[in-house]
Amino acid sequence: MSEDAVGTAAGARQKALLDMVRQRGYVTIAAMAARFDVSAQTIRRDIQALSDQRLLERHHGGAGLAPGTDTLAYTSRRVRNAAPKRAIGNLVAHHIPDHATVFIDIGTTTEAVAIALQSHRGLRVVTNHLRVASVLSERTDFEVTLAGGVVRRRDQAVTGAATAEFLRQFRFAYGIFGIGTIGDDGALLDYDYRDVQVSRVALEGSRHRFVVMDRSKVGADAMVRLCHLDDVHALFMDAPPPPPLADTLARSAVELHTARPATRAAGIR
């Protein structure tokens, strides 16, 4: 392969890599290497090149968005599939009674759940997401506890070992979790091992475990295992899952709840 061809391939890969990070906020080197079928060393060189252009910020084991662009990326994810996320949030809210104890995980879909829960009464909520805490703290009859730890700039999540340790002291009637994707075998996966460590602790402390995801998450390439479908009680989506995932769900004891975004009737996709 000529030098020009190599340069063209690297440029195309770096553009796709940057788009990948913009969509997710943070991506591990292993996930990028698997996605583009190249070595980890090649990905490190790509990250360095993009970092030199101030388009990415290097992190241990991965890369995130450069300062000043991370908040915009999260806002973009909130807008993407906004109607399905609202529908999922409203459906989950119907399954949470007043005066319940609730854990709400990080993510744009869980934020939609928090917005839908504003009409409830007397909730006691623990979250590791500043946006969720801000939304629910507007209700004066809610008790909102924000988990301790390091605040991640790109999405205002609180994560890391200190956050996981903080959550060990709590027990919840309901835990609401977002994920990166779900495998055909029922594995629930996410992108950042630090977030997964926190979610696992909250999962263990939740009596009823709800997972929320819009249909765009099916078939994504997240690689860090959170748990299996058999470890949760209900899955909330905006559309029926495709086979063979539908077959896996049918064989499990998990309740599948499908929301119907109102905007579909108006022809908005």
> For 86-113, what is each residue's pLDDT tens digit?
999 999 999 999 999 999 999 999 999 9
* Per-residue pLDDT band at 3 (split at 50, 70, 90): very low
What would the pLDDT profile of 228-265 be if each residue is shown by its tens digit? 999 999 999 999 999 989 999 999 999 999 998 764 43
User: What do you get for the CA distance between the two ends of the chain, in Å?
Assistant: 42
- Of 74 and 264, the structure prediction assigns the larger pLDDT to 74
Measured between alpha carbons, how far is 79 from 76 in angstroms, rounded to an integer? 5
Angle at 61 between CA 59 and CA 64, to 5 degrees: 40
Q: What pLDDT does 155 receive?
A: 83
Mean of pLDDT values over 189-193: 87
- Of 73 and 112, the structure prediction assigns the larger pLDDT to 112
Query: Residue 69 pLDDT more than 60?
Result: no
Q: What pLDDT does 78 receive?
A: 59
Q: What pLDDT does 91 receive?
A: 97
Query: Residue 71 pLDDT more than 80?
Result: no
Mean of pLDDT values over 15-34: 84
CA-nearest of 20, 56, 50 to 191 is: 20
Structural domains present in the chain: 3-67 (1.10.10.10), 77-266 (3.40.50.1360)
- Of 219 and 136, the structure prediction assigns the larger pLDDT to 136
Q: What pLDDT does 2 receive?
A: 36
What would the pLDDT profile of 135-181 be if each residue is shown by its tens digit? 999 899 999 999 999 998 778 899 999 999 999 999 999 999 999 89
- Calculate what percentage of the chain has a pLDDT beyond 90: 62
3-state secondary structure (DSSP) of residue 3: helix
Average pLDDT, the chain: 87
Measured between alpha carbons, how far is 21 from 90 in angstroms, rounded to an integer? 29
Q: What pLDDT does 267 receive?
A: 34
